[in-house]
Amino acid sequence: MIKLKDLLAEGIIKFRQNKKWLISIVVVSLFATILGLMIYFMSSGVDVMGGWKEILLLMLGGFVGSFAKVIDFWFNNAEDDVKLLEHADD
């Protein structure tokens, strides 16, 4: 017989996995879009004004940090799900 705790733990894990995929896709797509637009405008010779250039570089730096966290999350994670399953067994 399936216990209610097992169903809840499974539902929580599925919910978290769906959100992990969504956040990862959004961060990677925003990073790729900003980087792609920068490369496009640089190759077409468009000059960016001084203030906007700094803002754009700050945004890119922020997304590099988020991109690094996404990569770190997908390759060094798994402990949270194991802890959640252990607590569900209690």
Per-residue pLDDT of the chain (90 residues; tens, 9 = 90+): 466 666 677 777 777 777 878 888 888 888 888 888 888 888 888 887 778 778 888 888 888 888 788 777 777 766 666 666 666 655
Name the residue with tokens 């945004």: 59
pTM above 0.75, yes or no: no
When divided into structural domains, the chain yields a total of 1
Q: 79 is in which domain, residue-wise?
A: 4-89
Quote the pLDDT of residue 26.
Answer: 85
Quote the pLDDT of residue 5.
Answer: 65
Q: How far apart are CA 88 and CA 67, in angstroms?
A: 31
DSSP at 49: P
